Chain A
Amino acid sequence: MNKVMIVVRKEYLERVKSKAFLIGTLIGPVLMGAMILGPTLLADVAGDQDRTVAVIDHSGEVLDQLRAMLVDLDEEHVTLEALDCGSDVDGCLEELKSLVLGEGADAGLVIPADYYDRPELTFYNTAASAIVLREDSLEPALNRILRAERFRRHDLDPAIQSELMARSSWESRHLTEESDSEQSGEVGIIGGIMMVMIIYFMVLVYGQQNLTVVIEEKSSRMVEVLLASLRPEELMMGKVLGIGLAALTQVAVWTLAGVVAAGQGVAVAGSQIDLSVFGPWFWFNFLVFFLLGYFVYASLYAGIGAMCNSVQDAQQFSGTLTMGMVLPIMLMMLIIKTPDQPLATVLSLIPLFSPILMFMRISVSNPPLWQVVLSWVLLVLTIWWASRTAGRLFRAGILLYGTSPTWGSLARAMRG
């Protein structure tokens, strides 16, 4: 058997047989699902937080309408507490302020006497979270009250009024060559994000294993024994492949379980995500970007590991590399909003970013074929470069004990 394959076999079996792998395979989807759906589900379960708003209503009539409107708009978690001012306007305002500053109210609202003519409201708050209360609950309600009143002033027929106040309702249908399926765009995005997150987690978790494995091999003084039998490049390749195969196995198990579960009529990871909207092109790219992404990062992590003597030592270098995965995640909203703008296009072609960004574009849009193919080519070239560089780092660093590398020594070793 080829020596690289002997290393692959050992690294693969060692991982797949471990308890950590079993646990990871079992709870991975649960964790991932929890991370993506959790916030939404939690918000649903928890409902809205009860909020109290202290109100000074100089008009004397808007407050009651607001109460009714909040009920209409399903915003019953907002409690309005009226302050009776009488003639002492200033004292009343002070009382409102002290209520907001204290525990008495979450926010304060002052409605002017001539609200229908000059709808200028004052909102008092102590925390930024109160803005949600203003924008989601109070503002829509008061706007509707204002509109209704102005319609009334113009003597509009109530029937016309309700027609004017009507809101649109939406249904999205996902269009493919074969059919259009009933699916909201939002659900497609969540499915896409989920698959992007799988690439993100798997590339990081398994990529970084190459770093720790190489460092362990150095600190257990195993490395020179092995180098008597195979080249540093072969040793590195065996490790990267073996660990990658374990990652692939895990993804395969999840996919298979997902397919079986879907076949049983159980939706994947909760009822909201239906991955069936994605066609073969999507899945093919998932595999391509997952594998290419893994190999780029794994070989670079392995090379860094070879230069360092401890994980702490490696932190400054591996941390910088990890930014290559984290940055695209931070840019994900930009890609979702403008997937085909020049900025998104350029960013998604950068090899360290493309496993996340190009794949994200594929899942939310239809980037031109040439761009997708270009990103593959660039990634493959990067892998070629990265494995050569890592091989050099390996040869330079693998027998260095005791000295911590610097950016300078790293750069020298990379040039070979």
Chain B
Amino acid sequence: MTPAELKLPPIGEPLLEVNGLAKRYGTKLAVNDVSLSIPRGSIYGFLGPNGAGKTTTIRCLMDIILPDAGTMTLGGLPLERRLRDRIGYLPEERGLYRKMTCQDQLAYLAQLKEVPRREALLRAEQWLERLGLSEYVKRKVDNLSKGMQQKLQVAATFIFEPDLVILDEVFSGLDPLNIELMRDLILEEKAKGTTILFSTHMLAEAERLCDAVCLIEGGVKILDGPLDSVRAAFPFRVVRVAYRDGKEPPADLPGVLDRRLDERTWRLELAPDQDPQALLAPLTAAGELSFFSANRPTLSEIFLTAVRRRRADVSGEGSPS
């Protein structure tokens, strides 16, 4: 039941756009001039460490808190309450009515998203079946294990067939089996054309799923865009080495931008045009290697690099010279 005015853009065109969003708590800027563009039909990762401002941004999107500045549009229309009925939201702080039956629970939440009662009850039953919880239709939520309850919460988010789904820290607290299940669900919904925005601090998980990402830290957007172009913007290689006697790699290696000890191996960040193979000779000349690897940077490495560069920029701008 898309409101008549909402015309969904073609797949790949921006569905949700956020411009200059800001939210201040007291003296602390929780979100500072964040702009996002989320293409329809994509899985969009909203990434950053805990306290980066992800949840605040999402709550502004859902009109749960009022932003101090910024505009938000869905399909080109200002994001009013009515349009939020097209958005499914699974908050990080999520619960269920323990005394309600599973079917009533899902149907109630569907009704609140404008699904007529009969239809809502029917869909609730179908979803419970899909999740392998058919026997719990008429039973109270209390009878469900924690994993099952999480499935029910996810079902409640998708049951009204939203155009956009926002999942806040959806993987946190899940065991590997349920992470797998959640990943499958997200991919299934994406295949149906649903746009999914999910926030997480688990960058490895995001890397596996996302088509596009946005990284924020301290309320400020560090970088965003399709995953490929983000990678392209950070074309450096990462070499990790360790010596049998634990010594440091030589300091005068060619094309090394950054050199630091990271989890018992030395992490060397290479300039984009530096061939990792060329390092092998000087490294082995210095001692007996116990470990050597050369990779494209992971998302979390890109993130760390971007944060470091940004901090360097900021302090550079701030100095009197």
Q: Name the residue in A3, A7, A221, A225 with the highest tally of chain B Cβ atoms < 10 Å from its Cβ.
A: A225
B97 lies within 8 A of A227 (CB): no
Query: Does A224 make an interface contact (CB < 8 A)?
Result: yes
Which of A220, A229, A399 has a CB less than 8 Å from the CB of B113? A229
**Which residues on B sit within 8 Å (CB–CB) of A6?**
108, 111-112
A31 nearest CB across to chain B (Å): 26
The answer to whether A220 touches B65 (Cβ under 8 A) is no
**Which residues of chain B come closer than 8 Å to A220, judged between CB atoms?**
95-98
Whether A229 pairs with B109 at a CB distance below 8 angstroms is: yes
Cβ–Cβ contact B91 & A228, under 8 A: yes
Does B91 contact A10, Cβ atoms closer than 8 Å?
no
Residues 54 to 99 of chain B near chain A (Cβ within 8 Å):
59, 62-65, 81, 84-85, 87-91, 93-99
Residues of A near B91 (CB, < 8 A) are 221, 224-225, 228
Which of A10, A224, A227, A401 has the most chain B CB atoms inside 10 A of its CB? Answer: A224
- Asked if B97 contacts A222 (CB within 8 A), the reply is yes
Is A287 positioned at the interface, with any CB of B under 8 Å from its CB?
no
A6 to chain B, nearest CB (A): 5
The answer to whether A399 and B64 touch across the interface, beta carbons within 8 angstroms, is yes
* CB atoms of B112 and A222 under 8 A apart: no
State how many angstroms separate the Cβ of A374 from the closest Cβ of chain B: 37
Q: How far is the CA of A14 from the CA of B112 in the complex (A)?
A: 17
Select A228's contact among B64, B96, B111, beta carbons within 8 Å. Answer: B64
How many residues on A have C-beta within 8 angstroms of the other chain's C-beta atoms?
19
Given A227-B62, A227-B64, A231-B81, the answer on whether A222 and B95 have CB atoms closer than 8 Å is yes
Interface residue B156 (Cβ < 8 Å from any Cβ of A): yes
Contact with B along A93-132 (1 / 0, CB 8 A): 0000000000000000000000000000000000000000
Is A326 among interface residues, defined by CB-CB distance under 8 A? no
Q: Does B310 make an interface contact (CB < 8 A)?
A: no
Given contacts A3-B112, A6-B111, contact A228 B62 (CB under 8 A): yes
Per-residue A-contact encoding for B30-42, CB less than 8 Å = 1, 0 else: 0000000000000
Q: How far is the CB of A233 from chain B (nearest CB, A)?
A: 11
How far, in angstroms, from A122 to B265 measured CA to CA in the complex?
103
Write out the residue numbers on chain A whose beta carbons fall within 8 Å of the beta carbon of B108.
6, 10
In angstroms, Cα B96 to Cα A224, docked, is 11
Question: In the complex, A230 Cα to B63 Cα: how many Å?
Answer: 9
Give the shortest distance, in Å, between B303 (CB) and chain A (any CB).
27
Is A23 positioned at the interface, with any CB of B under 8 Å from its CB? no
Judged by a CB distance under 8 angstroms, whether B247 is at the interface is: no
Contact present for A228 and B84 (CB under 8 Å)? yes
- The docked-state distance in angstroms from the alpha carbon of A38 to that of B113 is 52
Contact indicator per residue, chain A 1-43, by CB within 8 Å of chain B (1) or not (0):
1010011001000100000000000000000000000000000
Q: Which of B140-175 contact A (CB under 8 A)?
A: 153, 156
CA distance A220 to B100 in the complex (A): 13
Residue pairs across A and B with Cβ atoms less than 8 A apart, 7 shown, are A7-B112, A220-B98, A221-B94, A224-B59, A224-B93, A227-B62, A231-B81
What are the 7 A-B residue pairs with the smallest beta carbon separation, nearest first? Answer: A221-B95, A228-B89, A229-B112, A224-B91, A220-B95, A222-B95, A221-B93
